[in-house]
Amino acid sequence: MDPDLPVRIAGVAPEIRAGLEVGASAVAVGGGAELDVIGTGGEYLGVIREGETWQLVPGGSGILIRPPRGGRITDRRIVVAPRRSGEFVRVARRDYRGTLEIVPDRTGLTVINRVGLEEYLVGVVGAEMGNRPPGDREAVRAQAVISRTYALRNRNRWRAQGFDYYATVADQVYHGVTSENPMARDAVDATRGTVVTWGGAPIDAFFSSTCGGRTELGTEVFRGADRPYLKSIADVDGAGAAYCRESPRFRWREEWTGAELRQALGRGLTAIGAVTDAGTPRIRDMRIDGRTASGRVATLVVSLPGRDVRVESARVRQALRRTDGSILPSALFSLRPAAGSSEVTGLVAEGSGSGHGVGLCQWGAIGRSRAGQRYSAIIAAYFPGTRLERFY
């Protein structure tokens, strides 16, 4: 920890709730250490033996527990905890620190991992950054600070569903013990309690994989992200080379036949509500109508028989989908349509980067770390005018 940073809040790191599964039709718990199973009123329901798995399924207004030996138990809320200190709970073949809480939801079961924030962060940082070489240490520490800031800023985000964050890209990727590694642990421990602030409060700590050499203005992607620190910055070194140039997603190319394009756009335009029919309309033309200050597509115009559909920047990646149905890597691209006599017969998109491009660029942070920058300088570059403060 940096001893020079002021401590704003006395105490310890809070406990957080990560939503591991929502709407699950069945949940497999156990297979590792011995686990105690506790019911709604704190009553003891049994022990899951080492190597044993219990199945939990929705049952009426509660949960039906199916131990491998005898009987079925029904309850409205289940807590699963390690019997011995230092061991983990296992669900869906992944180990987690802390405890599990399983509750019914509208379509199945919700599985929640209750764990201390710092322990949660080790799993997040490992999942987000992978197992990096020594030269990337400062980038991993920067990610630890950004992930902690995001977590504190967004506690109770999904309160109505009973947890703080999804364990996916909807918030931060979290795979528990499975994704932990020594560098992630070092990064979390070395920055313990450290948060990025503006005006004394945690910032909106956006991050994405690869910016392509320039980050995006916050308001181009997120409604309400009009923050003085979410600026578009040139993410390049003294020679003008992008810090994220080593990313495998720094340059990309996608290609569609006419039939593939009709299918991809039919799916994408329906998903964003631009059309009401998921069919395959004839595409007369496609063009980019303006770019944002960072060079990303501001408006994509799709000409259909009888009308033009205009897709604004924040939804471009969802509208123009890849042939496998996934969203486009980034909105920083150019188009080369192949036109027939009355419709587009093929399309090539050549682009750069991966993700929305707002805030910290993970591969840019790696490039900056390899260039000798400390995590504090990396964060200051992506969030100008902010401060680092220790909250506990």
State mean pLDDT over 171-192. 97
User: What's the chain look like in SS3?
Assistant: CCCCCCECCCCCCCEEEEEEEEEECCEEEECCCCEEEECCCCCEEEEECCCCEEEEEEECCEEEEECCCCCCEEECCEEEEECCCCCCEEECCEEECCEEEEEECCCCEEEEEEEEHHHHHHHHHHHHHCCCCHHHHHHHHHHHHHHHHHHHHCCCCEHHHCECEECCCCCCCCCHHHHCCHHHHHHHHHCCCEEEEECCEECCCCEECECCCECECHHHCCCCCCCCCCCCCECECCCCCECCCCCCCCEEEEEEEHHHHHHHHHHHHHHCCCCCCCCCCCCCEEEECCECCCCCECEEEEEECCEEEEEEHHHHHHHCCCCCCCCCCCCCEEEEEEECCCCEEEEEEEEECECCCECEEHHHHHHHHHCCCCHHHHHHHHCCCCEEEECC
Check whether 226 has a pLDDT greater than 60. Answer: yes
pLDDT in tens, 76-106: 999 999 999 999 999 999 999 999 999 999 9
Q: What is the mean pLDDT of the chain?
A: 93
Does this model's pTM top 0.85?
A: yes
State mean pLDDT over 319-332. 95
pLDDT in tens, 51-64: 999 999 998 889 99
pLDDT in tens, 232-248: 999 999 999 999 999 99
pLDDT in tens, 331-351: 999 999 997 668 999 999 999
Task: Give the model's confidence band at 69: pLDDT under 50 very low, under 70 low, under 90 confident, else very high.
Answer: confident
